[in-house]
Amino acid sequence: MNSMLAQIHSLPSLIREDFGRLEDSARAALEGPEAREIERLYLTGCGDSHHAALSAEFAFEVLTGLPTEALTAMQFARYSSLQLSRVGGHKCLAVGISVSGEVARTVEASNLAQEAGAFTVAVTATPGSRLAQCAERTLLTSVAPIPDPPAPTPGIRSYAASQLGLLALAVRLGEVRGHLGVEEAAVLRREIVGMADASEVVISACELRAKALAEEWSDAQEFVFLGSGPNYGTALFSAAKMLEASGDSALGQDLEEWAHLQYFARTVATPTFVITAGERDLTRAVEVTVAAGTIGRRVAAVCPPSDVGVVGAAARLLPLPNGVREVFSPVIAAIPGELFAAYRAELLGEPYFRAFDGGRSLVEGGGISRIRSSEM
């Protein structure tokens, strides 16, 4: 089993074994009167951490009753943070997300939020990191490595841990503010732990399908992933795993925006994955799936089998279990794309991240990336 697949197969045990600890950390992060005074939330990060923020944005709005914005760290640091003091920064919560805790832009975003009076929480796997040190509270998302850790592998476990940590924060904040009752919060936490069983179902149902699909669509040169609401983040994350794993051109797009943009792309048969939990976006997901198939796209539906309109219009199905609440669906909706990316890379014999060739300097501070040493 390749290292990316090993990470995917470890997800059920990660959820079962680590959510309780993440929930305890969320409780500690939101102790004190600051949490009860919050009136607005900002979630920020780069790359996978930004995708996790997007996936959790709807959960925070539903579970806390508070307006929430998920922004890239660049957008928040250099633009949105300028407005915090004007809108009452002391009533805002800014959550900075970074697995390493060293991404310069996310650290900058947290520092500027704090300067504007916001209450800051770091969601990171790295205690003692710059992000952990600059934030007022920290939710640690570090999880035990799987046996025999390989060379750098696209982040699967770290992304799941960030998602779970954010959901734990959302439930706890809703409880602290009185938006959720104690029993209601307990039910929600049990549902999150139940994502372990759901993830096992997804892996079992999708693994052979994803492998077969990678072989069937081996001629493709570009891949498009569509989602909306909480699964817009899933679409972006799925595209990111394609880029990291196989190096293929891959695009994550909002479900509606596809109809205004990629609909007109010259290449007819581009594989297009429509990701939906079958709730608020379902009617549009059906229309887009029909439209994509009609103009010649090869469409794979990532959705529950009960979404018969999407399933019937798609060429292939990577099924999600029925009955999963939409706010929690990103925890499992990313798995089909992860599986497809892993098998695509294996089929092509591509090293993950192109073995860091072709654009990213191996020496921090060199090249254009400067992810950790960028000027702040």
**Separation CA 289–CA 302 (nearest Å):** 11
Looking at per-residue confidence, does 24 or 367 come out higher? Answer: 24
Is 216 a member of any domain? yes
Is 256 a member of any domain? yes
Task: Determine the pLDDT at residue 362.
Answer: 57
Please state, for a pLDDT cut of 90, what percent of the chain lies above it. Answer: 86
Q: What is the DSSP letter of 91?
A: G
Here the CATH number for the domain that contains residue 345 is 3.40.50.10490
Task: Determine the pLDDT at residue 359.
Answer: 47
46 pLDDT exceeds 90? Answer: yes
Indicate if 188 and 205 belong to the same structural domain. no
Indicate if 224 and 261 belong to the same structural domain. yes
Indicate if 184 and 331 belong to the same structural domain. no
Quick: pLDDT tens for 86-121.
777 889 999 999 999 999 999 999 999 999 999 999
Task: Determine the pLDDT at residue 363.
Answer: 58
Listed range (70-74, 152-156, 242-246, 356-360) with the worst mean pLDDT: 356-360
Indicate if 28 and 87 belong to the same structural domain. yes
Range of the domain at 350: 196-355
Region label for 155, one of left (φ > 0), alpha (ψ between -120 and 50) or beta (otherwise): beta
End of a domain among 168, 193, 218? 193
User: What is the reported pTM?
Assistant: 0.96
Q: Report, as an integer, the average pLDDT of 328-339.
A: 98
DSSP tally for the chain: helices H, then strands E = 16, 10
Give the residue from 218, 223, 121, 197 showing the smallest Cα distance to 162.
121
User: Angle 195-216/182-193 helices, nearest 10 degrees?
Assistant: 40
CA distances from residue 231 to 53, 120, 149, 254 in whole angstroms, order as listed: 11, 25, 29, 9
The domain tally of the chain equals 2
Is 360 a member of any domain? no
User: What is the Cα 55 distance to its own chain's centre?
Assistant: 5
